[in-house]
Every structure is written in structure tokens, then in C-alpha cells.
Amino acid sequence: MNETAKYLFDIGEPFAAGLLEYPNGPLPMTYCRGYRRYYETCPLVYSAGAPVFPVGVTSGEISQGRDPSSLLCVFPHYAHQYQVYWKELKSKSPRAYDIIREFHSRYYYPGYWNHSMLNYKRILAEGIDRYEERLLAKPESDFRTALLDLIEGLRIYHRRALEALPSLGAPDKLVNALRTVPFSPATNAYEAVVALNFCLSLDGWDNVGRLDDILAPYHKGEDLRAELKCMFKSMQDNDRWSITLGPDYNDITYQALEASEGLARPLIELRVVEGMPDELWALASKRVLQGGGQPAFYNEAAIQSRLLSRIPELTPEDAKEFAGGGCTETSFAGLTYSGGTDLNINVLKIFEDYMYQCLPTAASFEEFYEGFNSLLRRAQDEQMAEINRYWNERARTCFAPIRTLFVDDCIDNEKGWLQGGARYTFSIHSDSGIPNTIDSLLAIRHLVYRQKKYTPDEFLSLLKAEDPTFRALLRSCPAYGVGDTECDGLAHDLTARFYEHYLNGKLDLGIGFFPTAHQFTRHIENGLVVGPTPDGRTAKAPEADSLAPVNGKAVKGPTVMLKSASCFEQKDIYGMAVTNLSITRKYPPEVLRGLVEGYFALGGTQLQITATDRQTLLAAKADPEGHRDLIVRVGGYSEYFHRLSPELKDAVIARTLFEK
């Protein structure tokens, strides 16, 4: 260990020390040594009697409970590779602060979230020892040396846990299981859950993938709800993400739905096939009507056919590994590097700027509409070029040790996860404000070009003044979300052009671009930079949520609203097309099932449902402490209502709520 690394290690920054052990050295060795030093020294997080290890908060914040002088300020991060508490680091050691700042300037590329899931099926079936054997069979290289170094760090961490767990109150069953897994294959269902939990924590508790399929080979009818509940609670404590269930339903499918009751995380993605058992529909409906937005429903047939069409090299076996990462971004479990989401186009802001510049001179609506589409395509091209540049820079400066080790085919290709090593690599990126833009176009067509009620200049003047009478008129114009054939036709045309254009984009690394349509907080942030718009929205108000119509406009009920949502060109939204639906808890389960099946029959991709009532939401906003167990579906994820920002609470309350 060189002098700089030793200094960082001695002041209690082992991860940072590892990063500096190879000054200007190979990228894989730099990051893997950092991870090794972390695993050699990190706290062992466990609660006496828990059926799995670790449990609780295992990210860098774990050291927050210790003396400030021993605070871990530089630590691994599952998406960003590492994070730094800069203020605390500078207070702890100005010298260390300067060292890490210099490293940061060379190696850290600021960017966006990247979700993934390790190949847990393979880990459980082969054990980590087999990964080491595969590496040893490769020719000597920095890549091989780095990952072997990482595995040695994992061995040390595992050994430390085995030695400490008896004194920490661990049951013999857990200790005995860890003597086998995860380095050797799991031999029973309990060992499989223990191994899954252990390795999930190594990836920051990000996503599991197809939980019922992962555990199916080991399950012989055991009740695993307590073990699953413990693992799920750790995912929630770490603010992490999802599990996928189906399409091959088994007893674990039901146990997972039951074990997640009362928790906001993990997000449950239920893949719905024709003929899904009535008892599973009953349990899923029960969970939804309890509130909390769990599970979300996925149209299995539509998703499979679309992905197989989009990726010519995708095999049916690999396509079956579909799972949503993070909120819901498309992935193939254990086989994928995808963005999550890479960039976002604020379509409504582009429209606003275009409207003020071009509406006064547009001779017809068709001319105005075509000009907007041309501008939108240029914005898409700029976004795709920026993503490509960002991906190349990140590949040059970052390395993801755990994901490179455990995602196929990084070892076979001898390439890092961020360097194009995974079997399937593609960018997932988003947009916001399309429903608002559709309604804005409809209002302009109706009032300026068809009725000729206002000249373009008069229209823009009244809009900018936020005249309340004019705003009411705007909200009465033809709109998306009420089943109007002509309105839905414009929605289809705009989205077909928009999403199809991404098929033209190229990445230096990977397949290409998979657009998504899910807004969780971004529709609030993006609304802040947009003035009043012709859909009747006021300045700085949130934009529409994903595929949902503008709040208050879906006045003909949920069935008609979902019919309109199906007019979005969802077949090209490969990243995932999210539709939010808010209903009261009085909905009969059979009606809820009918809504889901009906929407999917129309080609809808995904439906997430919050069952609540406005009175409860308002009461929870006024008295957060009295409603700490209230869970709502936000946009791509569920969360405890009291933890939301004031703006996000208002956005959830403002949604159209369908009563039965």
C-alpha cells in the first residue's frame, strides 16, 4: 500500500484507500481494489435472530451511527460506483478531501441512474467459486486480476460474517447455510434465500428480477414468508427497488405477495398472462385494494412480442427473463446493462418555445403541427448524441465491479459492465409532458384554426396573461383521455412519430435506444420551467403523469381513460409505458380485474393502481404522524405518503380519482 493509500486507510477511509492503491493504474484494478478494501472492513449489519444476513441499512450511511471522526465519507454506490460526503470529508481531513477531489476529477463522470439485477439464478446454481474458476481459465489480464481481487474481498467479508454471526445472536440454521452459500451452490430453499439476500446486498439491494423463478428449483413447499419479509424490509430500508413475479406462477408467487404486505418496497411487478389463476387475481386485487399500489400489472404477451421484434438477437429464453429495473425500466435479469433513465426530453417546454415563435406565422394547423414534429425530432437527435457521448465517457472513467462479475456475459467477453460486456446493452431514456402537449395542440386547432375564435396573437396574449375565463375555455376544449376518436388519433400520430424516431439512433456501445414513459418526480420538476400552456395548465404547475391524461380531464371514467391511453404508440415504448390509475377502495375485485384485462386487450403495456380516497390523503397531509403507514403509488414506485415532498403530495392528491 503506497503512502497516500495508507494515509486514507489510517484515517478510516478504506474504500478511498483502495481506489488510490493503483495511481493512474488500470480502471478495473482501481475500482476492484476499492471494493475489496471496503468488504475487508465494512460493518457487519445484522439483527439478532434474523433469518438472513445482512439485514438493515448496508450502504455507506451505515457508519453514520459511529463517532463523527470515524464516519465513512467515501463508499461504494450501486449505480454511481461510489459516493462522497464532501462536507464531512473536508471536516475530517482537508488532505483527504484534496486527494479524493483530484481522483474524482479524473475518474468520476457525473451521470444518471443505472439499475440492474445480477444473474441470481446462476449464482445460486453454481456458487461464486465457479465464477472464480471461469476467471482463472481466462488469459492473464488486468480484467482477470481485478475480478479475482474482488472475489478475494468477498471471501474475506463472508468469512468475517461467519466468525461474527454466532456472537451476534444468529440462529445455527443461518450460520450453517452460510457455510455453503453463496460460494457453493444452494442445496435447498432456505440456502437459496440466504444466498440471494447476501448477493443482493452486494449490489446495493437494487433489483431481484424474477423472484419466483429464481427460487423455484429449490422450493419443496416450505413457508418462506418470514425470510422474504426480512429481505424485503432491507430493500425498503435502503430505498431500493423491485421484484418480478411470473409468468410461471408457483407458491413463491403467492408467498411474495403476502410477505410484502405493509411495505412500500420492493416494487412488485406481476406479469399477467391469459388464464392467470383466479386465486392469484384475488390475492393481487386484495393487495391493490389495501392501498399502496402493489402489485403493478404487466401485459406479458404484448411485452414479449415487442421486445422480440425490437432485438433480433434476443432469444425466447432470454426474453423470458424480462424484469423491470428501478422503477420499471426494461431489463433481462442477469443479462443487461441499461440506462435508468439516461436523459429526459421536456416535450412541453419544447412545445411552449415553439408555440410562441411559430404560431403567429403558421398558415394552418397542419403547417404548425408539422413544424413542431420537425423540431421535436431535432431535439431527439441531440438527446441521443448526448447519451452516446455520456456512455463513452462513463465507460472510459468508471467500472462496476459487482455487476461486471455477476452479469452475463462480462466475464466471457472480458469487458466491464459499463464497457459493453453484458449480453444486452441499451439506453433507456424518458420524456415528459406529452399528454399536455397533445391537449395544447388540440386547443390551438379548435380555437385558432377551426372556430377561428382568436387570432394567434390574441390566443398567445390571453394565454400569457393567465386569464381565468380563457383558462376555463381551454380546459373545455377537446382533450385526450375521454375517448374522442379524433383526439386519440392525434395522440397516436404524435407518439408514433416520436417513439419510432428513436429506432434511427445508434450507440457506440449496445443495441440502441429504448424510450420509456414514466414520470415519478420529473413531471413536477419539468413543470416548474414551463409557463401557462393551452391545455389549461397554469405556470409552473406539474406536467401530466406518464400516460395519464391531464388531471381533471378524464371525466368519462376509467374504462374510457384507458381506451385513450391505449392510443399512445405503446408498441415502440420499449423501456416501459406506465399508466397510473387512482381508484377508491370500494372497487369490487372483479371490476378491477376487468379494467386490467380490458386495457391489456387494447394493447396497454403496464398498469399501476393506487386505491385510496381524497379525504385520507388530505388528512395525511395535515397530520403526517397519524398516517405514517399510508402508502401510495407515486409514478413508477410506491412510497410512504409522509415521506413525499409537499409538491409530490399535492400532485398525488390532484390526480383524477375514480369512484365506484
Mean pLDDT of 385-392: 93
pLDDT given for residue 637 in this prediction:
75
Residue 133's SS3 state is: helix
Angle at 525 between CA 520 and CA 528, to 5 degrees: 145
What mean pLDDT is predicted for residues 478-490?
A: 96
pTM of the model: 0.95
Rounded to an integer, what distance in angstroms lies between the CA atom of residue 296 and that of residue 532? Answer: 33
At 64 the pLDDT is 47
Beta-carbon contacts of 313 under 8 Å, excluding residues fewer than 6 positions away, are none
Please report, rounded to a whole number, the percentage of residues in the chain having pLDDT higher than 70: 97
pLDDT of 520 reads 67
**pLDDT higher than 60, residue 128:** yes
Strands 81-84 and 336-338, sheet pairing:
unpaired
**pLDDT tens column, 315-329:** 999 999 999 998 899
**Short-list 498, 194, 218, CA closest to 374:** 498
Cell numbers for 571: 408498441
Confidence tier at 246 by pLDDT (50, 70, 90): very high
Q: Cβ distance 11 to 92 under 8 Å?
A: yes
**Which pLDDT band, with edges at 50, 70 and 90, does 509 fall under?**
very high
Say whether pLDDT at 62 is over 50. Answer: no
pLDDT of 113 reads: 78
**Model confidence pLDDT, tens digit, residues 346-376:** 999 999 999 999 999 999 999 999 999 999 9
pLDDT digits (tens, 9 = 90+) for 572-621: 999 999 998 888 888 899 999 999 999 999 999 999 998 888 888 899 99
Query: Which among 390, 420, 407, 408 has a CA at the least distance from the CA of 509?
Result: 420
**pLDDT tens-digit series, residues 63-119:** 444 555 568 999 999 988 899 999 999 999 999 999 999 999 988 766 667 899 999
Closest residue by Cα to residue 296 from 322, 324, 270: 270
Which pLDDT score is estimated for 67? 54
pLDDT at res. 71:
80
Q: What is the pLDDT of residue 60?
A: 60
Least confident of 34-38, 88-92, 253-257: 88-92
**Residues of the chain above pLDDT 90, percent:** 81
Buried/exposed code over 63-81 (b: 16+ C-beta within 10 A; e: otherwise): beeeeeeebbbbbbebbbb
3-state secondary structure of 287: helix
For residue 371, what pLDDT is reported? 98
Q: Where are the domains of the chain?
A: 3-107
Q: Residue 460: pLDDT band by 50, 70, 90 thresholds?
A: very high
Q: What is the dihedral of CA 222, 225, 228, 234, to 10 degrees?
A: -150
Fill in the amino acid letter for 9. F
Q: What does the angle CA 65 – CA 195 – CA 175 come to, to the nearest 5 degrees?
A: 70
d(CA 638, CA 291): 10
Enter the C-alpha cell of residue 142: 488486468
CA of 190: how far to CAs of 124, 169, 202, 251, in Å?
11, 18, 19, 15
The kind and range of the H/E element at 403 are helix 401-406
